[in-house]
Amino acid sequence: MVEKNPRTILLFLYFSSGISALIYQIIWIRLMGEVFGNSTYAISTVIAAYMAGLALGSWYGGKFNKKRSNQLLYYLLLEIGIGISALLVSLIILNIDNFYGIVYTFLNQNLTSLLIIRFLIGFILILLPTAFMGATLPTISKYIIRNFSKLGSDYSILYFVNTLGGLTGVVLSAFFMIEYFGLYITLFCAITLNILIGFLVYIIFYRSKRPEDLSIESELLISSSGSKPENSPTVFTEYNSSIILLTAFITGFTSFAYEILWTRSLVFFIGNSTYSYSLILIIFLFGIAAGSVLIKSFIDRIINFWKVIILTQSAIILFSILTIFLFTSFPHIDLFKPGHSNWINYLSHNLLTTSVIILIPAILMGITFPILNKLYINRIENVSNKVGNIYAVNTIGSIFGSLICGFILIPILGINRSIVFISLIIFVLVSYLIIKFFSLKKYRFFKFSLPVVFIISFVILFFINLPPFISYDEKDIEDIIFYEEGVSATTKVYLDPDGHKKMTVNGVLMGGDSNKAMRKQKMLAYLPLLLKQDVKDIYVVGLGTGATLVEFANFSGSAKIDCAEICPSVLNGSNLF
């Protein structure tokens, strides 16, 4: 079996490694959420720390591989190392709440200090296993990418296999394993899978004493005579390598920024459940995997790679702007109206809505990254180092994209304007690539259209009122009197046709000043006071319109009342009640 197709076996093992990697991410977010809280800040810092570990492992893994001849043994140790370190990290997370409680008290609930400490804790804890994960890509690429004439298709299939593994991990953990077996058994299965992969590599390739079956066919992009292989990309220079890495960084930045923006937008239409977020991740990964498969068949026959990159990025810009109008249209199209009568209808509706927004740009993103790798790898001997470098740069871009978009752009610009702003970043990149690699004399249309498109986008960004997000439950809006898109949620206060005020958070009704709404809000205070009249302390979770808090204050005598609200936008909106 080894003699016939060892690469197929390695690809299957790498697919399995992708499954465990996404299972870890989902479980660690769940476990750390119990300690740090499930706010946008907490989840984002955990994901950023996770991605930072991947980038670090990819960068140093590629450099380490460059100096090692027996990298199959290195891959074996990495997989076992992922499993063992994941076990240790998980045990620490399960027992870290006491330590974090002391830190929380010491910092006197200072949000900025807590954000920094939270990131450092998350980074330190998951650095080792995620660094091992990041190092697996440059390591295994040495054995999958063996011939320069097939470099593009080989990397595309490698990218596809690992992405498909991640998608499978999300489906298994989010929809089946956690529900039926619980967090701990699911975690144990992921740990076992990584260790099993390591032992299978040893048994299949080392006990058979045929690791040489995976010997590398050496072929230079530019030979000593200065010629280059047929169908190879543009001659590689250090200057071009800087442009390639810059493009990799920006595409990583914008892809994760879009993912954050579309996730925040889709909450209005598919709900705020764990399943909804999992569906968004599934469609995103599926699109990337599909894009890498689509490009596989003809990537090694492309003559002008920059033209393909320019076209794919331009298509992403157009579709991104289109999504602003799609979000406005969803509530008025029967096809996208929610069907929550049963589980299948719920999933089908959310799957359809998510696919319309995310699938096409995700496919385009999946096409772009294999092309960048094809451009960047100048010698087959440098595969590990080059793959590690470009993956690390792309991942670092992803980290900055998610953090800057979530914590800075959305609070300042709002979701729709942030979509336009990210599109402008891609537009600037596309314009630079056109100017750099194409003669504007030949493409006169671009010479005049580039500044015009930029000015139009700039005007839209800062001077045109873009439509707010309206969910299916907000069809009774007569007039919006308050609208704020914060870091964690979008809060809206509006008047219905009867003149009553209502507050919604991410499109879900929180309360209002009508008689029906007031009865419900007051009852939340009356019921616990009926059960226990002589109270000394009261803790209200969620401010909303403030009606429940006021009723506690009116009827609880001298009791001390604390109210916790995670969204500053809700605090601002409650002033209207």
- Look at residue 221 and tell me whether its pLDDT is greater than 60: no
Q: How many residues does the chain have?
A: 577
| For range 464-475, the mean pLDDT | 80
Are residues 477 and 496 in contact, defined by beta-carbon separation less than 8 angstroms? yes
Are residues 204 and 198 in contact, defined by beta-carbon separation less than 8 angstroms? no
Average pLDDT, the chain: 83
Confidence at 2, pLDDT banded by 50, 70, 90: very low
How many other C-beta atoms lie within 10 A of the C-beta of residue 381? 15
Q: Say which residue the tokens 């750390």 belong to.
A: 32
- 208-217, 225-234, 339-348 — which is least confidently predicted? 225-234
How many other C-beta atoms lie within 10 A of the C-beta of residue 557? 11
> Judging by DSSP bridges, how do beta strands 501-505 and 490-495 pair with one another?
antiparallel
> What percent of the chain is modeled with pLDDT above 90?
37
> What percent of the chain is modeled with pLDDT above 70?
84
Are residues 127 and 89 in contact, defined by beta-carbon separation less than 8 angstroms? no
SS3 482: strand
Report d(CA 233, CA 306) in Å as an integer: 10
pLDDT for 63 equals: 76
Are residues 204 and 60 in contact, defined by beta-carbon separation less than 8 angstroms? no
Report d(CA 180, CA 186) in Å as an integer: 9
* Structure token pair of residue 504: 């919604």
Please classify residue 101 by burial: count the beta carbons closer than 10 Å to its beta carbon, then call 0-12 exposed, 13-18 middle and 19+ buried.
Answer: exposed
DSSP element (H, E) containing 531: helix 515-531
Cα–Cα distances (Å) from 519 to 318, 358, 562, in that order, read: 48, 41, 22
pLDDT for 269 equals: 82
Enter the pTM of the model. Answer: 0.84
